[in-house]
Amino acid sequence: MNRSIYIVDDQPEVLEIAVAIVKSVLPGVVATGFNRPCEALAAIKANPPDLILSDQVMPEMSGSQLLEEARLVAPGTLRIMMSGFVPLDQLTVITSAHQYVAKPFGAPQLKKMLERTFAARDRVRDKKLQTVVASLRSLPSLPQVHHTLLSELENNRGASAAIGQMVAQDAGLSAKVLQLANSPLFGREYLVSSPAEAVFCLGTGMITAVVLSQSLFKHYRANSHPEFSFEQVWLHCWDTAALAQCYCREYELPRPTREEAFLAGLLHETGRLILIANFPDQYTAACEAARKAQSPLGPRLREVFPAAPCEIGAFLLDLWGMPDSVVASVSMLEHPERENATGFTAVSALYIADQIASRGTPPDPFPPEEWDAAYPRSIGCPEELKQWVRP
């Protein structure tokens, strides 16, 4: 069966071009255009599409409103927002959108986004899980923030200062950025005392990673659970990210890889956040089983849910358009050997960093998962866990 895409834009000429682009880059897709959001919503209710591509600013109904209504009546439908460029000082959260594409966009860019979005959903075999993950609401528009920051960097030599000012406005974010900049892992002999200086020292890639992860944790903080501590998980993610970045530097991996390993470390618990927010009772049952068996929580979660938390998190990161290496590192967190690598990679860095951090700053009160010495040995690295401990 052919995939279906509904495209919504109140400007007839823009809508015509968008429909033509979709039909040209994805010949097997049935693309239908709507000038009025209300007509699109009626069509969604009658025959839910696989994906909705909607403009944000429309007189009858905003794109955010339309996508929220679509989420309620067609939770399995993927949702992408189109809008103009958003300056750094006007970043907003677009609710109910899985991805964000800035206008104007070209055919190659849209083709890549649509193909990747469909591929992300297809990689999750369980249909019920597909629907649940796709129906999540009010996700921080991470791709929008990511796109805006990177665009600012490409077009403005003073972007570091602008990002430093943005970080300085958030006390919690400033503290984390300064903590990272002054970490002994970086071996600096002087004190970094301002957010602007921290941005300059760390690089905007790592700062962007911190901003993205902070947005994610703020979104899910309202979903409290007696078996879950946000502070504990955040500290675990922070230490995992710092260690992963440290290992990549020790093995002389290029800077982009180091930054992506850092981002993967900050976001590798995304799947756990999703499970708690959407399946609190099942999560509690897994915790009770782990406590009764005095075992790690991971195996009990895999017994209760159709996919491992890292696979669920990777699916969402894939929908958000995160870098391929970030998605791969998170998805293979429990089975890094599936990468079939012959040397140290970002996947290796995340697996080992998570193992070490789980023993120093555990994300939950249960025993850590067993260390697989065969894996580091297979990539020519030290196989004893204590050899990976850093001060």
Confidence of residue 54 (pLDDT cuts 50, 70, 90): very high
Query: Average pLDDT in the 293-315 region?
Result: 88
Which helix or strand (DSSP H or E) is residue 55 part of?
strand 51-55
Residue carrying the six token digits 């964000």: 100
Compute how many other C-beta atoms are within 10 angstroms of the C-beta atom of residue 60. 13
List, in order, residues 6 or more apart from 125 with CB less than 8 Å away: none
DSSP three-state, residue 1: coil
Distance CA 293, CA 143 (A): 40
Q: Is 246's pLDDT higher than 50? A: yes
List, for residues 91-117, the tens digit of each pLDDT value.
444 457 777 777 778 899 889 889 888
Contact 51, 7 (CB under 8 A): no
- pTM higher than 0.85: no
| β-sheet bridge partners, residue 33 | 7
Residue-level pLDDT at 94: 44
Q: Is 145's pLDDT higher than 70? A: no
Contact 56, 64 (CB under 8 A): yes
List, for residues 320-368, the tens digit of each pLDDT value.
777 889 999 999 999 999 999 999 999 999 999 999 999 999 999 999 9
Residue-level pLDDT at 68: 87
Residue-level pLDDT at 88: 40
DSSP three-state, residue 271: helix
| For residue 336, cis peptide bond before it (omega within 30 degrees of 0) | no
The residue type found at 82 is: M
Q: Is 141's pLDDT higher than 90? A: no
Residue-level pLDDT at 311: 85
Residue-level pLDDT at 342: 94
Confidence of residue 87 (pLDDT cuts 50, 70, 90): very low
Residue-level pLDDT at 89: 42
Q: How many helices (H) and strands (E) does the chain have?
A: 19, 5
List, for residues 190-223, the tens digit of each pLDDT value.
677 777 777 777 776 777 777 777 666 666 666 6
The dihedral formed by the CA atoms of 253, 256, 261 and 265, expressed in degrees to the nearest 10: 150
Residue carrying the six token digits 């890094």: 336
Q: Phi and psi at residue 58, in whole multiples of 5°?
A: -140, 145
Tokens at 148, concatenated: 């805006």
